[in-house]
DNA sequence: TAATTCTGAACAAACGATTGTTCAAGGTTG
DNA sequence: CAACCTTGAACAATCGTTTGTTCAGAATTA
């Protein structure tokens, strides 16, 4: 309609290398394009450029606030840079299938991978990917790109806060023994104890996964000890612990203080409202997308980005321990 | 490598019209394809067929269990049918932009749209879409495809249950007055009252949006009345209501029963654990994807699919009203 | 004025599939 | 044995861009 070659249109619309276009021609093309509401066909462009401008994100759970925040962060940043986000909820069962499917069909230029799987499983899944990827809150020996939260520091701060309230017998509701984050958190927990000259007692540490039910189960062990406070790995397991304790007749927070890592709206919905150390999960998604996009643009970014924990949010679940010894139930 | 024309490879791999292929040739091609781990390039196929095999889903919130369940359902069904899901978290602010962007660039074959916007806004947003779309839990006058939850019946059941416990002064924590679902729920609420010959009292109905804070604010009105129970529109507003009441010193559930529509893990995390009427939100996502895929396949499905509410889940937040009159606080 | 450079846009070749058409070779039929 | 089908696969056009190359005409230089 503008009576020019399509190649000219392409050059004008892409905006770059405008040196070889007469202003008059450019204006005419832009005008017609606007009138026609014309946009370059994405698929054709992707084929020609052999880039899809699409990122894939693989998450194990969609209803976990940690992952939904990461998705949000990634999607926003991706959109800002002209990328779209393809989501792939991956059941733990068909591990790796989606990774393979997305990358082998050239549907995505790169992958954001959040996985709770064991190192070896994850590694073999990723071996099939023929695209760059970034790991979320995971470190895998090798050169994989990663964005990690500083769980150790977060755990240290949470524990430190409990100590500052006067607690000396502090339980830890942790994650799976093998998991990367579980170790980190445990280390942070110990670090805080050390700093306060409180001896480490392995009976006060229970491991589970990060589910509500695991929280319920694990806390039964702690209930048998003389712990006066609990530092829980995640919101969800903390919620499980509180539910179970209450069911057993405990007064919260008077008889047991609870603090958790990660923050989300629902910490406030719990009773008592849960004190937390906020973790920058949305930021994690954003940074991961950024890292991946840089990588795709040919840059060679530092492989690992560590994100410091956020602030301590003191709500109602943490109080000073009772002066007297707790009456055993 | 199999020494055949690409067209032959295409025919074999697509699996269809295998009549014109010698078994020997087919096997050879398949073997080589497997050895090379070859998959047809998605982009090229999309260009040639002018179909992206990608669905877009537009949601206002990512951390709301209602939407994440819908996404999960849609993603699963889409994947099963060879489609991918492009996610687009849409801030209420830039309404419609993403709809336009996704569809005008031919990135998606169709759209799944969950929106809390007013009819007119939504309508004008959708006017820009040049692809088929399905509305989630929304009805728009016209021929739009929709999947709706039967909020009316769910509200009726929830209210009915409270009545069966002996409550006669039942408050309703509803949604925005204009909203489609708000009316539905109110109707169900009234229906249950009618059936029990309980007069409708407008003072017992408060409207807000579906947020935690709105729940807190709205419940203050109800706290001034003689209501002994509350039927809340959503989990999140119910949580807000309970938090606020507890803050004001109420004993839950003895002094106020609460039931909410929709169910999710976190209903169980609240204290007292929240009774709910489960809503098939994951199913809604699934059905919406199905409807859209059918439409894209040239079928002409019924425009509206209504999903019946799920079962009543009785937890600890609903009890019989106290026999005596409540002491006003 | 002739030779050269510059400009701006058209030309044309991909990108990797899908799918209608063609066509040689082998089989069948009258 | 000639004419005609059938079969199986190659051939070729196409989808809508991007981008290297070409090229006519205008501008500059010698």
CA nearest B107 in A: which residue? A42
A77-80, long-range: CB < 8 A, 24+ apart: A77/A285, A77/A286, A77/A289, A77/A290, A77/A293, A78/A289, A78/A293, A79/B88, A79/B98
A to B CB pairs, distance under 8 Å: 136
Please give the backbone phi and psi of residue A104, each rounded to the nearest 5 degrees, phi first: -75, -25
Does A72 sit within 8 Å of B87, measured CB to CB?
no
Is residue B87 assigned to a domain?
Answer: yes
Look at residue B325 in the predicted model and tell me its pLDDT.
Answer: 47
Domain count, chain B: 3
**Does residue B320 lie within any of the structural domains?**
no
> In chain A, pLDDT over 70 holds for what percent of residues?
93
Spatial separation of the C-alpha atoms in residues A110 and A302, rounded to whole Å: 17
Is A132 among the domain residues?
yes
Taking C1' of C18 and every protein CA, the nearest residue is: B48
CA distance B300 to B294: 7
pLDDT values of chain B reduced to their tens digit, one per residue, 329 residues? 677 888 899 988 887 656 678 888 888 988 998 998 888 999 999 999 999 999 999 988 887 888 989 999 999 999 889 899 998 876 655 656 677 777 777 889 999 999 877 788 888 888 878 889 999 998 888 878 999 999 999 999 999 999 999 999 999 999 887 777 899 999 999 999 999 999 999 999 998 888 899 999 999 999 999 999 999 999 999 999 999 999 999 999 999 999 999 999 889 999 999 999 999 999 999 999 999 999 998 888 899 999 999 899 999 999 999 864 444 43
Task: Give me the helix-helix angle, A65-80 and A281-296, nearest 10°.
Answer: 40
Q: Measuring from the CA of residue A17 to each C1' atom, give the nucleotide at the shortest distance.
A: D19
Same domain, B161 and B88: no
Residue nearest to nucleotide D19 (CA to C1'): A7
For residues B200 and B98, membership in a common domain is answered with: no
Query: Å from B311 to nearest chain A CA?
Result: 21
Say which residue the tokens 């840079």 belong to. A81
What residues in B contact A68, CB-CB < 8 Å?
A: 62-63, 68
CA distance B36 to A286: 35
Shortest distance, CA A270 to any CA of chain B (angstroms): 5
Q: Inter-chain contact B37–A105, Cβ cutoff 8 Å?
A: no
Mean pLDDT (chain A, rounded): 89
Say if CB A132 and CB A154 are below 8 A apart: no
Q: Give CA A322 to chain center in angstroms.
A: 36
CA gap A39, A10 in Å, rounded: 10
Using CB atoms, pick whichever of B43, B89, B239 lies closest to residue A43. Answer: B43
Q: How far is CA A210 from the centre of its chain?
A: 14
Residue of B nearest to A62 (CA): B68
- Give the model's pLDDT for residue B18: 67
Q: Is A301 a residue whose pLDDT tops 60?
A: yes
User: Binning pLDDT at 50, 70 and 90, where does residue A292 land?
Assistant: very high
Does B159 share its domain with B269?
A: yes
Nucleotide nearest to B24 (CA to C1'): D8
- Specify the pLDDT at position A86: 92
Å from A29 (CA) to C5 (C1')?
A: 28
Q: How far: B24 CA to D5 C1' (Å)?
A: 23
Cα B46 to Cα B271: distance, rounded to the nearest angstrom: 51
Q: What is the pLDDT of residue B210?
A: 81
Residue A191 pLDDT grade (very low, low, confident, very high; cuts 50, 70, 90): very high
- Residue-level pLDDT at A91: 63
Residue A328 carries which DSSP code? P
Token couple for B127 = 């006017």
| Residue range A169-180: mean pLDDT, rounded | 87
Among residues A279, A294, A323, the one where a domain terminates is A279
Q: Are residues A158 and A275 both part of a single domain?
A: yes
Which residue of A86, A236, A264 is in closest CB contact with B84? A86
> How close, in Å, is residue A128 to chain B by CA atoms?
10
Residue B327 located in a structural domain = no
Residues A84 and A133 in one domain: yes
pLDDT tens per residue, range A152-163: 999 999 999 999
Kindly state the helix (H) or strand (E) to which residue B66 belongs, with its residue range.
helix B65-80
In angstroms, the CA A176 to CA A182 distance is 6
Tens-digit pLDDT profile for residues A202-260: 999 998 888 899 999 999 999 999 999 999 999 999 999 999 999 999 999 999 999 99
- Please tell me whether residues A169 and A77 are part of one structural domain: no
Q: Are B142 and B171 part of one and the same domain?
A: no
The answer to whether residue B23 sits within a structural domain is: yes
- CATH number of B302's domain: 3.40.50.2300
Peptide bond into B150 cis (omega under 30): no
- Look at residue B19 and tell me if it is in a domain: yes
- Which whole number is the average pLDDT over A40-52? 93
Task: Name the nucleotide with the smallest C1'–CA separation from B7.
Answer: C18
Same domain, A232 and A87: no
**Record: contact A87-B71, CB cut-off 8 A:** yes
Give the model's confidence band at A194: pLDDT under 50 very low, under 70 low, under 90 confident, else very high: very high
| Structural domain of B135 | 51-149+281-307
Task: Provide the CA B21 to C1' D10 distance, Å, integer.
Answer: 13
pLDDT at A95: 53
Classify residue B328: in a domain, yes or no: no
Q: Distance (Å, rounded) from C-alpha B11 to C-alpha B25?
A: 11
Chain C nucleotides close to protein (CB under 7 A) are 7-20
A15–chain B nearest CA distance, Å? 17
In a domain, A1, yes or no: no
Chain B interface, best mutation among A33, A68, A73, A130, by max B CB count within 10 A: A68
Interchain proximity A88–B72, CB inside 8 Å: no
B19 CB and strand D closer than 7 A: yes
Strand D contact at CB of residue B47, distance < 7 A: yes
């Amino acid at each position: 309609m503008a009576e020019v070659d399509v190649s000219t249109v392409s050059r004008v619309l892409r905006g770059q290398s405008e040196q070889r276009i007469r202003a008059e021609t450019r204006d005419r093309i832009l005008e017609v394009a606007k009138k026609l509401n014309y946009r370059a066909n994405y698929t054709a462009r992707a084929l020609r450029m052999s880039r899809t401008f699409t990122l894939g994100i693989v998450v194990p759970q969609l209803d976990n606030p940690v992952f939904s925040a990461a998705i949000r962060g990634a999607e926003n940043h991706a959109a800002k840079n002209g990328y779209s986000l393809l989501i792939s909820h991956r059941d733990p069962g068909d591990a790796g299938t989606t990774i393979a499917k997305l990358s082998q069909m050239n549907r995505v230029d790169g992958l954001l991978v959040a996985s709770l799987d064991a190192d070896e499983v994850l590694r073999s899944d990723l071996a099939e990917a023929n695209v760059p990827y970034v790991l979320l809150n995971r470190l895998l020996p090798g050169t994989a790109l990663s964005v990690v939260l500083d769980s150790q520091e977060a755990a240290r701060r949470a524990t430190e806060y409990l100590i500052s309230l006067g607690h000396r017998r502090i339980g830890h509701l942790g994650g799976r023994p093998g998991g990367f984050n579980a170790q980190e958190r445990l280390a942070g927990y110990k670090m805080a104890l050390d700093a306060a000259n409180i001896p480490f007692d392995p009976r006060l540490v229970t491991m589970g996964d990060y589910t509500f039910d695991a929280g319920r189960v694990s806390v039964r062990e702690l209930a048998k000890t003389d712990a006066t406070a609990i530092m829980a790995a995640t919101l969800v397991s903390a919620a499980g612990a509180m539910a179970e304790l209450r069911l057993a007749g405990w007064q919260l927070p008077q008889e047991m203080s609870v603090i958790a890592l990660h923050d989300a709206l629902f910490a406030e919905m719990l009773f008592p409202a849960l004190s937390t150390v906020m973790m920058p999960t949305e930021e994690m998604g954003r940074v991961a997308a950024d890292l991946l996009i840089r990588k795709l643009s040919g840059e060679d970014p530092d492989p690992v980005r560590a994100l410091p924990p956020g602030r301590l949010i003191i709500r109602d679940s943490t109080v000073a321990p009772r002066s007297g010894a707790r009456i055993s139930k």
